[in-house]
Structure 1
């Protein structure tokens, strides 16, 4: 099995094979043309790219549209594989080689592009998240200032960001309303437009795979840390952090208003589970329930 790995940065692509061949091109249209010509001479069963916050999106589209077997891999998973192979140092070329090895060792799910409405929704979700982060920084900045005039100037920036967050939230809500298939999620108390939009644009697998798999994708499935007779403390890691952030807030609301989840949380606390552990368990249960409801809605009613 032949594999190719591509390490993506804002400016360039480092392409590697398990044979040690390396290609470096710009992350531009001209670079993509050079990559496509190179790939014609280097056929592969699987091409693995590392998820890098969106910089990989254009080359993903190119490879998918060209019919290439391309996969977007989790960055943490790829890094741990590299460390397992003894690559303690981290360079773009070493990362490309590790991704090529991943392409050979693992059969990963092929990349599936989002629908146009999902792509647009994702951009709005990302813009709102970034605006909220900027708002947090702006408020912290104002708290450190005593001068009245400077505080007034900083407040103007805070007000501007608050307006932007509100407008983006309204537009996201309107986009959600235009997709009736997302309405099934609202049957659970605590699920609002923000979570609907994040799940629709960052978790297209929802309803298409098992509840256990969906929890693992998001990073809310407990991971074992056992050895011999020792049973270590379970923990979560990896997954899609942008989903967990919104899911956490939704879980806090659902624990108050959704009887099934409220009782579940209380039972965990009564059994001695820590607060954060119980909240993560609620997040996981929410996700599994939503996954089942979306699956059932998409499959339609059972014929008589």
Structure 2
């Protein structure tokens, strides 16, 4: 098994294999990616590991998927933790590429193979991301207008705000069109699953319906993690996961614990036993996403009943 690591940057790709010190650099463009694939073909890698870099890895990832090699895209925090555990405290592109190659070689039995989302999910994710940007800009512009005194500047700011709101409305319409063919009964089975939540979960958590309850809770970052050692029983807490999904799920759960009978009873039961607000709400978030995951997974077996 040959472990290969690729450090991805905006302009360059650094390729390393675990059994060699040499690291080869390619440009992060079509020509550089083609040359990198050619080098990898000669090696016949057993596992390829790279980091998520905010989209700079997307063209390379798409090209690698065409080869059929096992590929994993990991969170940069995981790669950095592995490097520190290996005694490597310094950080450069070359060091990172070597560390990824070593991690691929050592950890491949436990690495999750990357499964690309469907084309419609990728398109939906782009629209959801843009909507988030526009909503943030609307909030900022609304706050700024309150401090504008000059009428001329006020008119310009109001025109800008109106344009942003119009763009948000167009995005909402397009997002609804993209989601409509995929809204099954399971997606309407919990109060709080409105159009924005549905679109966000479909695009940002495409694994829904294919995971166990433990896996989906950890992936979102709402699983209570143990902190025990010897006789010490530490306080359980959540850590990691997909922050964007967790933000959407938080707002959806605030609605669900008021209007969804099952989640309301669960949440109020925790509060009655003295659990703090945030602890009870995170537990309700976990139940929310676990329930939705199970209903999507079991939907083919029978009808989903609204509760």
Settle same-fold status: TM greater than 0.5: yes
- 2:175: which partner in 1? 172
In structure 2, what is the Cα distance between the partners aligned to 1:102 and 1:143? 52
Name which of structure 1's ranges 227-236 and 38-47 shifts more when overlaid on structure 2: 227-236
Q: Tell me which residue corresponds to 1:281.
A: 283
* Cα displacement (A) at 1:152: 3.3
The 1:23–1:143 alpha-carbon spacing in structure 2 relative to 1, beyond 3 Å, is farther
Find the counterpart in structure 2 of residue 14 from structure 1.
14
Cα 1:151/1:270, change in 2 over 3 Å: farther
Residue 199 of structure 2 corresponds to 197
**Matched-pair contact (CA < 8 Å) for 1:269–1:275:** yes
1:27 is aligned to 2:28: yes
Greater shift, 261-270 or 207-216, is seen at 261-270
1:138/1:72 Cα in 2 relative to 1: closer, same or farther (>3 Å)? same
CA drift at 1:177: 1.1
Q: Which residue of 2 aligns with 1:112?
A: 115
Give the 3-state SS of the residue equivalent to 1:207 in structure 2.
Answer: coil
Q: Is the 8 A contact 1:76 1:238 kept in 2?
A: no
Per-residue CA distance 1:227-249 (angstroms, 9 max, x = gap): 22222222222211221121111
- Whether the 8 Å contact between 1:225 and 1:231 is mirrored in structure 2 is yes
TM-score for the superposition, normalised by structure 1: 0.91
In the alignment, what sits opposite 1:49? 50
**Alpha-carbon deviation of 1:204?**
2.2
Aligned length, in residue pairs: 300
Partner of 1:222: 224
**Among residues 242, 245, 248, which one is paired with 2:250 in the alignment?**
248
User: Are positions 1:293 and 2:298 aligned together?
Assistant: no
Name stretches of at least 5 consecutive residues in structure 2 with no aligned partner: none
2:108 counterpart of 1:103: no
- Correspondence for 2:141: 138
Give me the whole-angstrom Cα distance separating, in 1, the residues matched to 2:168 and 2:211.
Answer: 33
Structure 1 match to 2:234? 232
Partner of 1:149: 152
1:7 is paired with a residue whose SS is strand
Aligned with 1:265 (options 261, 264, 267): 267
CA contact (8 A) 1:15 1:24 kept: yes
Three-state SS of the structure 1 residue aligned to 2:196 is: helix
The Cα of 1:118 is off from its aligned counterpart by 1.3
State the partner residue of 2:212.
Answer: 210
Please list every run of 5 or more consecutive structure 1 residues that lacks an aligned counterpart in the other structure. none
Q: Any idea what SS the aligned residue of 2:210 has? A: coil
Q: Using the alignment, how far apart are the partners of 1:100 and 1:87 within structure 2?
A: 14
TM-superposed deviation, 1:293: 0.2
- Is the Cα contact below 8 Å between 1:191 and 1:250 reproduced in 2? yes
Cα 1:97–1:298 shift into 2, 3 Å:
farther
In structure 2, the CA distance between the partners of 1:290 and 1:80, relative to structure 1 (3 Å rule), is: same
Partner deviation per Cα, 1:247-285 (whole Å, 9 max, x = no partner): 111111111110111121122222222222222111111
The answer (yes or no) to whether the contact 1:207–1:295 under 8 Å persists in 2 is: yes
CA contact (8 A) 1:215 1:288 kept: yes
**Distance of 2:46 and 2:60 partners within structure 1:** 17
Residues of 1 paired with 2:28 and 2:140: CA distance? 31
Tell me, in whole angstroms, the C-alpha distance in 2 between the residues paired with 1:9 and 1:96.
Answer: 11
Name the structure 2 match of 1:158. Answer: 161
Counterpart in 2 of 1:37?
A: 38
